[in-house]
A and B are shown apart, each in its own frame.
Chain A
């Protein structure tokens, strides 16, 4: 298995993609890694990511550029881009990623693999280099829903080292999955699914819309009722997410000061040591987010930004839960576009942030979601390789089993969604 570099591995360098942790070797395994090892998994190596998981393309890694196996001119997405690319390229059976605003689901979509962001608290965060502590989730990326379910089962469950981990017993998520030959004609009969209206139409690339439409039709053909639900707060989640995530990050990243570990810039006094160390250790995207968060928490701005963002978070949460009272699962594209070209958005942070629109609200609400490959963007006329599209299926809190079950049936029956990247 591959392990995203935001997860600590005992004796194996863990940098979170950041210079600030160059050469850092943790003395302990992250809880999820330890559980995988106990379950017999072999750790093949660490997967590249945007520094401190801040980015959507893995271009913000302080080390290497990671390319998309479907088209090496494209990014694999991010921040778990290394994990998604490694799985898509068949370098490992599965990988662990972390998802603060879509960092598992968006790269899964870009790379045509399955990615699960579990319910907040389902998997221990112990040993995960923190970005937005109230949003961070550890989850699997894999070639199939069943593989992802197996990995999720192995890493789930309460952990004494993480006070926010949930006490709920973790079921075996792979146990109920039926092989395709045992499925009835209409295996999803009685399932009530709804597409989030705000994720369709303007702003979504036609290639993505087309693939999602075909997937919806397929779900209906499997017997599911597919309706539409409008979530008016959908658009306001994104700014709230960026305020909360960057605020928490501004505190979480304060520890990278060169005093106890990591590279240190030697200087005559403490202030200069801090300034030099952090200047060298934190890249431009990380600095931008730390500054944003510091600003949002400053005296006089707290109420206008952080507090307001928390209020928005509550609204988003209520609205999603209300929709999930009415419907079994919600559906949306995993991102508005297929994989970007390398260099396409990394100079335009706002465009990049927009790409998180489909995913961040689930982090705000703490709900589980899975990205499952649902087809391809129609081939472009420039002769580029066809790029995969992922469908996001959103479940109720701690309702991963349901979500995984539907994704599995979809995957096993949707031949059009299958494919492997070119050799």
Chain B
């Protein structure tokens, strides 16, 4: 629309001025040509409407015009003045939002009950003159030609808009009238409506007709993403009974009357659950409630033994907070945390003969997971792309793993994320229809699912297929890279929450929190910052501070005195590759961090070359070198030859042994330098100091 307006500016707005005190940002809506005075004969109802509108705008603007409320003309001028005041200090988008906020709220069922119809559009055109003459002056009904060629009487021509003429401001016309009214009719009432003002004649064409697909296709959409992460706490026992909390046991071996909900059994809260949840809250920067409570969330399902899940509904243990997420492009994103609450996991259905419900003959339930403690962390809707969402989830996982709160294994389901995705036209504040996606078992799958979903929703809206975007739960099919509908939510599911009478309110004292704070682990972000401060590139810091064993190993190598950069290279290179190859974690390595630091020190000092270092590594991985790497080097005679005389002797020997190549080199074939280096290295069994070798070799080669 901005483009259209600018065109008109050029043609008609010769004397437009921007009042500098009026706006912080440039006003696109300069004053129009001064209006010629027209007499309006306002009836008392007209005046009443004008006064109502003037009052409402005044309330929004926080200022009322001193003009008279009695005469039609004065009242109208007063209304224009307050609407102009309404624009002060607001961006165009904020102006539109302010006006829309004043419109009545239309429930969603209205749009479903009264979808767009030709009849509705014509009725709308018919009644418009009766209701809005006081605002825009005389109107007449006209025919509208739709994009498919059909003609219907659903257009209203405003002959000379009183509001536009009185205000003389295109910006007020667009932001306080056209845009909000269009949006209200199109999105709230489900009656697509376009208003095309003519800023020369002050006339306007108002058309109720299905949206022009071409125009709709150009709308830019902004995705909005929020994530709910269920984190399984790695406590020794379950949340409310003393069964082991352990993944991978044979089915129904970690169960007891309590987690099977036998009659008369009662939940007793595990203190370790509170410890981990409070620790998580501190890591997220949340406010930890001095008193929180448990509630029953009721629904029937075969994996839910009690017929309700013990959860926290309105008073969660953690509220608020934020985490700083490192994005792959090196920038940072702060994602707000809405809340985190405790609850219990359900059992697991095992479908016979198929990996999902459809197609299986019967299902078995494994209750080992029933009653495993979960912390559900709900983010603010702060993410705008699949990349951001995946980076958030990865950072959240890292924090929880580094704090020892969860094992963080996505494959075992110890972290499960539900993602809420919606899109809205850029600049609009109200959220679009929210779709929930489940069933993503890696962060890259999450990213793909979200990007697919955004594209699906935008495609549907641009293509005029709004009905395809409904509130529902969709599953991600990683193989096909698509999301598909699992179930439609008919309104909100009614979980009949009520306070859990079997558990007392949960108290967390200041002293308890102070004790936790005293021994708080280092956040991954702080760790990365520390590594960067040591001179490491941010990308290296991310790799080293991704898993606790790696970070701990690297820190131990540093603590043993190794300089950061070479230490990082060894850890991220050969050590990591070995771990991957052998499927061991770094804390299980036989190569002690101090031994690696020893090796690095020998290389840095020039005692051995990097190449020799690599040669030694396989033995070091087997646990050799514990008595000092130097001893090993000496025992094998691998020390670097850094005595100039010794190196010179080898070089001389090589030159003498290869007269033909020497002649060619001296004849101009300088590429042969590499050949000589190789020969010297071979002769010295790789022990010649490379820098010295090069220096001496070049001298000798160029001697003659």
Q: Is the CB of A16 within 8 A of B263?
A: yes
Q: Which of the candidate stretches B67-75, B302-310, B661-669, B673-681 sits at the interface with the other chain?
A: B302-310
Q: Report the minimal beta-carbon distance from B252 to chain A, rounded to whole angstroms.
A: 10
Q: Is the CB of A255 within 8 A of B266?
A: no
- List chain B residues, Cβ under 8 A from A274: 300
Given contacts A125-B266, A160-B268, A163-B503, contact A255 B498 (CB under 8 A): no
- List chain B residues, Cβ under 8 A from A27: 257, 262
How many residues of B are counted as interface, with CB atoms below 8 angstroms from the partner's CB atoms?
A: 31
Q: Is the CB of B503 within 8 A of A130?
A: no
Q: Is the CB of B264 within 8 A of A126?
A: yes
Report Cα–Cα, A65/B269, bound state, in Å: 40
Q: Is the CB of A128 within 8 A of B264?
A: yes
Which B residue sits closest to A274, measured CB to CB?
Answer: B300
Q: Is the CB of A130 within 8 A of B264?
A: yes
Q: Which of B264, B301, B502 contacts A7 (CB 8 A)?
A: B264
Given contacts A274-B300, A297-B496, contact A255 B504 (CB under 8 A): no
- Does A251 sit within 8 A of B, measured CB to CB? yes
Q: Is the CB of A247 within 8 A of B263?
A: no
Contact with A along B260-280 (1 / 0, CB 8 A): 111111111100000000000
Q: Is the CB of A8 within 8 A of B263?
A: yes
Report Cα–Cα, A163/B494, bound state, in Å: 28
- List chain A residues, Cβ under 8 A from B307: 251, 253-255, 257
- Does A134 sit within 8 A of B, measured CB to CB? yes
Report Cα–Cα, A259/B494, bound state, in Å: 23
Within 8 A of B (CB), among A20-37: 21, 24, 26-28, 30
Q: Which of B302, B492, B497, B501 contacts A259 (CB 8 A)?
A: B302
- List chain B residues, Cβ under 8 A from A130: 263-264, 502
Q: Is the CB of B501 within 8 A of A21?
A: no
- List chain A residues, Cβ under 8 A from B584: none
Q: Is the CB of B498 within 8 A of A302?
A: yes
Q: Is the CB of A126 within 8 A of B300?
A: no
- Does B153 sit within 8 A of A, measured CB to CB? no
- Does A294 sit within 8 A of B, measured CB to CB? yes
Q: Is the CB of A298 within 8 A of B494?
A: yes
Report Cα–Cα, A164/B302, bound state, in Å: 28
Which B residue sits closest to A297, measured CB to CB?
Answer: B496
Contact with B along A99-140 (1 / 0, CB 8 A): 000000000000000000000000001111110111000000
Q: Which of A126, A134, A257 contacts B501 (CB 8 A)?
A: A134
Q: Which of A26, A132, A134, A297 contacts B263 (CB 8 A)?
A: A26
Q: Is the CB of A162 within 8 A of B266?
A: yes
- Does B414 sit within 8 A of A, measured CB to CB? no
Report Cα–Cα, A298/B306, bound state, in Å: 18
Report Cα–Cα, A248/B502, bound state, in Å: 10
- Does B365 sit within 8 A of A, measured CB to CB? yes
Q: Which of A28, A163, A299 contacts B502 (CB 8 A)?
A: A163
Report Cα–Cα, A30/B264, bound state, in Å: 8
Q: Which of B264, B269, B302, B498 contacts A251 (CB 8 A)?
A: B498
- Does B292 sit within 8 A of A, measured CB to CB? no
Report Cα–Cα, A8/B300, bound state, in Å: 25
- List chain B residues, Cβ under 8 A from A21: 263
Within 8 A of B (CB), among A152-196: 160-164
- List chain B residues, Cβ under 8 A from A298: 494, 496
- Does B298 sit within 8 A of A, measured CB to CB? yes
- List chain A residues, Cβ under 8 A from B257: 26-28
- List chain A residues, Cβ under 8 A from B296: 251
- Does A350 sit within 8 A of B, measured CB to CB? no
Report Cα–Cα, A306/B298, bound state, in Å: 15
- Does A202 sit within 8 A of B, measured CB to CB? no
Pick the most buried of B260, B263, B367, B497: most chain A CB atoms within 10 A of its CB.
Answer: B263
- List chain B residues, Cβ under 8 A from A26: 257, 262-264
Q: Is the CB of A306 within 8 A of B268?
A: no
- List chain A residues, Cβ under 8 A from B264: 7-8, 26, 30, 125-130
Given contacts A27-B257, A161-B268, A163-B267, contact A297 B300 (CB under 8 A): no
Q: Is the CB of A248 within 8 A of B263?
A: no
Q: Report the minimal beta-carbon distance from A406 to chain B, rounded to whole angstroms.
A: 31
- List chain A residues, Cβ under 8 A from B300: 254, 257, 274
Q: Report the minimal beta-carbon distance from B603 to chain A, rounded to whole angstroms.
A: 60
Report Cα–Cα, A294/B298, bound state, in Å: 10
Report Cα–Cα, A8/B306, bound state, in Å: 17
Which A residue sits closest to B363, measured CB to CB?
Answer: A270
Q: Report the minimal beta-carbon distance from A167 to chain B, rounded to whole angstroms.
A: 11
Q: Is the CB of A254 within 8 A of B308?
A: yes
Q: Report the minimal beta-carbon distance from B71 to chain A, rounded to whole angstroms.
A: 49
Within 8 A of B (CB), among A280-307: 294, 297-299, 302, 306
Q: Is the CB of A247 within 8 A of B261?
A: no
- List chain A residues, Cβ under 8 A from B305: 255, 259-260
- List chain B residues, Cβ under 8 A from A133: 501-502
- List chain B residues, Cβ under 8 A from A129: 263-264
Contact with B along A314-347 (1 / 0, CB 8 A): 0000000000000000000000000000000000
Q: Report the minimal beta-carbon distance from A304 to chain B, rounded to whole angstroms.
A: 14
Report Cα–Cα, A118/B497, bound state, in Å: 29
Report Cα–Cα, A73/B301, bound state, in Å: 44
Which B residue sits closest to A52, measured CB to CB?
Answer: B263
- Does A63 sit within 8 A of B, measured CB to CB? no
- Does A353 sit within 8 A of B, measured CB to CB? no
Q: Report the minimal beta-carbon distance from B146 to chain A, rounded to whole angstroms.
A: 42
Within 8 A of A (CB), among B94-116: none
Q: Is the CB of B492 within 8 A of A299?
A: yes
Report Cα–Cα, A47/B639, bound state, in Å: 90
- Does A261 sit within 8 A of B, measured CB to CB? yes
Which B residue sits closest to A135, measured CB to CB?
Answer: B501
- Does A57 sit within 8 A of B, measured CB to CB? no
Q: Report the minimal beta-carbon distance from B316 to chain A, rounded to whole angstroms.
A: 18
- Does A14 sit within 8 A of B, measured CB to CB? yes
Q: Is the CB of B265 within 8 A of A247?
A: no
Q: Which of B266, B308, B365, B367 contacts A163 (CB 8 A)?
A: B266
- List chain A residues, Cβ under 8 A from B301: 270
Q: Report the minimal beta-carbon distance from A172 to chain B, rounded to whole angstroms.
A: 26
Q: Which of A14, A257, A259, A294 contacts B496 (CB 8 A)?
A: A294
Q: Report the minimal beta-carbon distance from B253 to chain A, rounded to whole angstroms.
A: 15
- List chain B residues, Cβ under 8 A from A132: 501
Which A residue sits closest to B306, measured CB to CB?
Answer: A255
Report Cα–Cα, A248/B498, bound state, in Å: 9
Within 8 A of A (CB), among B245-264: 257, 260-264
Q: Report the minimal beta-carbon distance from A242 to chain B, rounded to whole angstroms.
A: 15
Pick the most buried of A24, A134, A299: most chain B CB atoms within 10 A of its CB.
Answer: A299
- List chain B residues, Cβ under 8 A from A248: 498, 501
Q: Is the CB of B266 within 8 A of A126?
A: yes
Q: Is the CB of B263 within 8 A of A306?
A: no
Q: Which of B262, B269, B494 contacts A299 (CB 8 A)?
A: B494
Report Cα–Cα, A24/B503, bound state, in Å: 26
Q: Report the minimal beta-carbon distance from A403 to chain B, rounded to whole angstroms.
A: 25
Q: Report the minimal beta-carbon distance from A407 to chain B, rounded to whole angstroms.
A: 29
Q: Is the CB of B268 within 8 A of A163?
A: yes
Report Cα–Cα, A9/B659, bound state, in Å: 101
Q: Report the minimal beta-carbon distance from B501 to chain A, rounded to whole angstroms.
A: 4
- List chain B residues, Cβ under 8 A from A161: 266, 268
Report Cα–Cα, A133/B307, bound state, in Å: 15
Q: List 21 A-B contacts (CB under 8 A).
A: A7-B264, A26-B263, A26-B264, A125-B264, A126-B266, A127-B264, A127-B265, A128-B264, A129-B264, A162-B266, A164-B266, A164-B504, A255-B263, A257-B302, A261-B262, A270-B301, A294-B496, A297-B496, A298-B494, A298-B496, A302-B498
New A-B contacts (14) at CB < 8 Å, excluding given A26-B262, A28-B257, A161-B266: A8-B262, A21-B263, A27-B257, A127-B264, A130-B502, A133-B502, A163-B502, A164-B501, A251-B498, A254-B300, A254-B307, A257-B300, A260-B261, A299-B492
Chain B residues proximal to chain A, CB less than 8 Å: 257, 260-269, 296, 298, 300-302, 305-308, 365, 367, 492, 494, 496-498, 501-504
The 4 closest A-B pairs by CB, nearest first: A254-B307, A133-B501, A134-B501, A297-B496
